[in-house]
Chain A
Amino acid sequence: EDQVTQSPEALRLQEGESSSLNCSYTVSGLRGLFWYRQDPGKGPEFLFTLYSAGEEKEKERLKATLTKKESFLHITAPKPEDSATYLCAVQEGGNYGQNFVFGPGTRLSVLP
């Protein structure tokens, strides 16, 4: 059974304090790993798609990396507006159209 776990469950950082969020997965074959940001009461906002081990993507203060078993979302010098829940989702390889399996999310709070 496909599983996606995220750690930590919650993370509190001071503004400017860099850190990383983890997404670990077990699937028979990874088609893609997706990172989203979700603010309270809103739908998830797409951040990155990663397809193969060694791949990296960057956007402003965020950088996502992928290995064969996990992905990291690095946050460099975070600001209070980075506070949100960060979700990762994996899609199993094989048939096109396989659904996402979402992790439980990491709630990030960045204090000024």
Chain B
Amino acid sequence: GAVVSQHPSRVICKSGTSVKIECRSLDFQATTMFWYRQFPKQSLMLMATSNEGSKATYEQGVEKDKFLINHASLTLSTLTVTSAHPEDSSFYICSARGRGGPPDTQYFGPGTRLTVL
């Protein structure tokens, strides 16, 4: 149980294009989803938190107009990196928290490697 999927697992795009990453909770309802980014050999850095049907809450320093988050249902959240630039290249990981299992536990997706040329 508590499986979270992400798609795509890897994406390469040209500078200036937009990229959408999907995060799905496969066997539970995710009341809250989180988006993180991780640079090589560093820990996870929280970008934003989204609750189903509400606007996302962004961490300080994260541009909400650049990283668009939509949490349209209890099983799906999307992160769109708009007008991506090489400095946006990173490993993006989502997590989901929901009903069932140990309270407050976040279950993570496998991550999406974004490379912007």
Q: What is the interface of chain A, defined by CB distance below 8 A to chain B?
A: 31-32, 34, 36, 41-46, 49, 87, 89, 91, 96-97, 99-100, 102-105
Contacts and interface: CB of A to CB of B under 8 A. Distances in A.
B85 to A, nearest CB: 22
A44 B93 contact: yes
A45 B6 CA distance: 14
A103 to B, nearest CB: 7
B46 interface: yes
A99 B111 contact: no
Contacts, number: 54
Interface of B: 2, 4, 6, 32, 34, 42-44, 46, 49, 91, 93, 95, 102-111, 113
B28 to A, nearest CB: 13
A90 B5 CA distance: 24
Given A41-B111, A43-B93, A97-B32, A102 B43 contact: yes
A87 B6 CA distance: 21
15 contacts: A32-B104, A34-B105, A42-B110, A43-B4, A44-B95, A44-B108, A46-B2, A46-B105, A46-B107, A49-B102, A87-B44, A91-B104, A96-B104, A99-B49, A100-B106
